[in-house]
Structure formats: C-alpha cells, structure tokens
Amino acid sequence: MPIRRSVTADTDTLVDIWLRSVRATHDFLTEDDITSFLPLVREIAQSELEIWVLCSDEGVPMGFLGLSGPKIEALFLAPEYHRRGCGRRLVRHARELKGELTVDVNEQNPAAVRFYEACGFMVEGRSEVDDAGRPFPLLHMRQVSPCAETRIPENEAR
C-alpha cells in the first residue's frame, strides 16, 4: 500500500473519507457539529498541512494523515479500512519523516485514545475545550515509542 503526498485533485475524496470516518467514530458530535466542521475540513485539505494519502495497490485512497511539523493534525481512514493496520502504517510513516510525534485527541473518542496509546503515545496534558473553544476536551499526547508493525493480510488491503 503506497503512501503519497496529497494533490489538489484529492480534496473531494479526502473530505468524503473524513465525513464517513467521523460519522462512524465520533458519536459525541451531532450532525450539526459535523456540518459546521465541513468547510474547515475542506480548507485543511487544501492548506499548508503536509497531507499524506494511504492508497490501495490500485491507487484508491483509503485514508490520510495531516502533519504540521511533528504534530499529527489529522488521521482519518475510510470506515471499511478501520482496524486493518492502516492507521498504524500512516503513524509509522509520519515517525520516519518527523521523529517523535505529538497529537491532540478528543477525550470523548476512547477508540482513538486507545489507538494512539497502542502506537506508543502517552497523555502529557489535557484541555477542557478544543482549539476553537468548543466543549470537546482534548488529550495532548506524545509518542514515546514507535508503533509496532502490523501485517495486513493481502485480501484485506484491497
């Protein structure tokens, strides 16, 4: 599964991946919350973030990771690729590029917290609100050990 830099033509696909992923994993958000985030997500997909896209062997985007220096600003996978090692692959790629990583994770998303803990991150702080002042507490995490390798079976990587 190749990982490549995002191009402008990816924007609609990445926004769709974000939308489907958030609806599948962020049950603390209302549909109004999700709708209000969409313009920001579209802007981020076209921003100065360093965005890496994980693709199937056929070139179909499966998920993406956005970096600002060594900080993971976004990591979203299409729901059909959850729990297959794709997120770990993106985190390992980021670590190879940037070294020790940090990430802010919604405290109300325990599956994401567990994922980052499994990837060697530890909580080093907490905020009551998100970066925009909304009531979505954030855990500030730092990677203290590399992500373990996870082999994805051939038939699941497609």
Express each pLDDT in 80-91 by its tens digit.
Answer: 887 878 999 999
Strand order in the sheet with 3-5: 3-5, 50-55, 61-68, 71-77, 102-106, 138-143, 121-127
Q: Going from the N-terminus, what domains does the chain have, and what CATH number goes with each?
A: 3-156 (3.40.630.30)
Locus of tokens 């993106």: 90
* CA 82 to mean position of chain CA atoms: 11
Q: Tell me, what DSSP letter sits at residue 7?
A: -
Q: What mean pLDDT do residues 88-101 have?
A: 94
For residue 113, what are its two tokens? 């917290």
pLDDT tens track for 2-36? 999 998 888 889 889 988 888 887 877 778 877 87
Contact 53, 9 (CB under 8 A): no
